[in-house]
Amino acid sequence: MIEVHDLHRHFGGFRAVDGASLQIRTGSITGLIGPNGAGKSTLFNVIAGVLPPTSGRVLMDGEDITGLPPHELFHKGLLRTFQMAHEFSSMSVRENLMMVPPGQSGESLWNTWFGRKRIADQERALRARADEVLDFLTISHVAEEKAGNLSGGQKKLLELGRCMMVEAKIVFLDEVGAGVNRTLLGTIADAIIRLNKERGYTFCVIEHDMDFIGKLCDPVIVMAEGKVLAQGSAAHIMENEAVIEAYLGRGLKNKAMVGA
Ligand SMILES: Nc1ncnc2c1ncn2[C@@H]1O[C@H](COP(=O)(O)OP(=O)(O)OP(=O)(O)O)[C@@H](O)[C@H]1O
pLDDT at 84 over 80: no
Share of the chain above pLDDT 90, in %: 50
pLDDT at 104 over 50: no
- The minimum-distance atom of ligand 1 relative to the CA of 223 is 21
Q: Is the CB of 254 under 6 A from ligand 1?
A: no
Residue 258 banded pLDDT, cuts 50, 70, 90: very low
Q: Is the CB of 231 under 6 A from ligand 1?
A: no
pLDDT greater at residue 156 or residue 252: 156
Task: Indicate the helix (H) or strand (E) that contains 236.
Answer: helix 234-238
**Chain Cα centroid distance, residue 56:** 22
CA of 15 to the centre of ligand 1 (A): 10
- The minimum-distance atom of ligand 1 relative to the CA of 34 is 21
pLDDT tens for each residue of 214-232: 999 999 999 999 999 999 9
- The minimum-distance atom of ligand 1 relative to the CA of 38 is 21
CA of 62 to the centre of ligand 1 (A): 28
CA of 3 to the centre of ligand 1 (A): 22
pLDDT at 88 over 80: no
pLDDT tens for each residue of 143-189: 999 999 998 888 888 988 988 888 789 999 988 888 788 888 888 89
Residue 103 banded pLDDT, cuts 50, 70, 90: very low
Instruction: Please state, in angstroms and rounded to a whole number, the distance separating the CA atoms of residues 141 and 128.
Output: 15
What is the number of other CB atoms lying within 10 angstroms of the CB of residue 39? 24
Q: Is the CB of 32 under 6 A from ligand 1?
A: no
Residue 74 banded pLDDT, cuts 50, 70, 90: confident
Share of the chain above pLDDT 70, in %: 87
CA of 226 to the centre of ligand 1 (A): 10
Instruction: Enter the pTM of the model.
Output: 0.85
Work out whether the CA dihedral 203, 228, 34, 79 comes out positive or negative: negative
Name the nearest CA neighbour of 208 among 161, 254, 250.
254
Sketch out the chain's domains with CATH numbers: 2-87+155-258 (3.40.50.300), 89-149 (no CATH)
Residue of 9, 18, 22, 42 to mutate, ligand 1, most atoms within 8 A of C-beta: 42
**What is the pLDDT averaged over residues 112-139?**
82
Q: Is the CB of 162 under 6 A from ligand 1?
A: no
Task: Calculate the alpha carbon distances from 120 to 36, 102, 110, 114, 116 in Å.
Answer: 48, 16, 15, 12, 6
The residue nearest atom 29 of ligand 1, judged by CA position, is 37
The residue nearest atom 11 of ligand 1, judged by CA position, is 16
Give pLDDT, residue 256.
45
Q: Which long-range contacts (CB under 8 A, 24 or more apart) does 8-16 make?
A: 8/53, 8/54, 8/55, 8/56, 8/226, 9/39, 9/42, 9/43, 9/45, 9/46, 9/51, 9/53, 9/54, 10/54, 15/226, 16/42, 16/226
Residue of 40, 81, 208 to mutate, ligand 1, most atoms within 8 A of C-beta: 40
**What is the pLDDT averaged over residues 196-209?**
92
**222 touches 230 (CB < 8 A):** yes
The residue nearest atom 1 of ligand 1, judged by CA position, is 11
Q: Characterize the bridge pairing of strands 63-64 and 78-80.
A: unpaired
Q: What length is written for the chain? A: 260
